Amino acid sequence: MNYESISALSEEIQKQGQFLQDIEREVSKVVVGQRQMIHHLLIGLLANGHILLEGVPGLAKTTAVKALSKSIDASFHRLQFTPDLLPADLIGTLIYNQREATFQVKKGPIFANFILADEINRAAAKVQSALLESMQESQVTIGDTTYPLAPPFFVLATQNPIEQEGTYPLPEAQVDRFMFKVLIDYPEREEEMLIMRRGDSSHANQASPVAKPEQIIAAQNLVDQIHLDEKVENYILDIVFATRNPEKYGLKELKNKIRYGASPRASIYLVKAAKAHAFLQNRAYVVPEDIRAIGYEVLRHRVMISFEAEADEQTSDDIIKLIFGHFEVP
């Protein structure tokens, strides 16, 4: 359905977007704090983009994804990535039936709406590639047959940033498949007090189904129709191109700080994520604040800093902050 006016689309967004508040409420019943993580999970869901969560163990990454899937009444599989995991353990395989003398397909756990790839950097590259191919194509090939993955298909991968022994770090080209890279920090003191008082997780609240997968798909279709002004489009392109050729945009000090700039996927995901952020604000159009609200999560794993930047103790977030501060908001 195409909406001829922004006001008509805005009314439809307010009408169809109410269930997202219910989802956020249910997830917040289970997860103490971590409002930003929950917010970005909802944006990724609306924008049909996969998310990489990075944080030390115990910060409710797994709990949040489980709660999200339960609140949407969707199928969920958690995959603990280990060094001995094989691609067949993920996507499935062909099993020979001796009685009928035929091969039968045994589908793997990838056939679910929500996939949690726990500690993705623990598995070998061929397993990581099998997952990332499913993310990119939304389909799986077993033998000679290709099987589509039922929408919504949402992958959340976690990795531990402090323990690198026995891990297989994701190559930059594979990390680029994720729309967001979300950094999870420790809870505030008051939040940890509540976590401590809850103690045993068996006594914690449980999320209840408040939405259907069909509602997510309908909301995703609405997100695609959100208006993006040409000035905002140019604002996005200025930011992305400045990561590739900073000196051409008056950022000579960054020329030797950036090894590789953001890929074209950055432009695509900035648009999608900004539209999803506008949807959560009940708006039918994107404003520059939407870009700034999701810019770090989209760009931080796509802007590769140089050794010089590392020597100056600068991170990709520091570089992105300088770029955002340089351009005038349209």
Residue type at 257? K
pTM: 0.89
Report the C-alpha gap between 27 and 65 in whole angstroms.
9
User: What was the pLDDT predicted at 200?
Assistant: 56
DSSP H helical ranges for 125-212: 125-137, 172-175, 189-198
Q: For the CA atoms of 45, 51, 56, 58, what is the dihedral angle to 10 degrees? A: 30
Contact call for residues 257 and 309 (beta carbons, < 8 A): yes
Q: pLDDT digits over 210-241, tens only? A: 999 999 999 999 999 999 999 999 999 999 99
User: What was the pLDDT predicted at 269?
Assistant: 97
Domains and CATH numbers, the chain: 21-83+110-195+208-218 (3.40.50.300), 226-326 (1.10.8.80)
Report the C-alpha gap between 18 and 282 in whole angstroms.
9
Q: pLDDT digits over 243-256, tens only? A: 999 999 999 999 89
CA count, 13 A, side-chain hemisphere, 320: 22
Q: Is 143 exposed, middle or buried (0-12, 13-18, 19+ CB in 10 A)?
A: exposed
Mean pLDDT in runs of 10 for the chain (330 residues)? 72 88 88 86 93 84 85 89 90 85 87 90 84 86 87 88 67 85 88 78 71 92 94 96 94 92 95 96 94 96 92 93 92
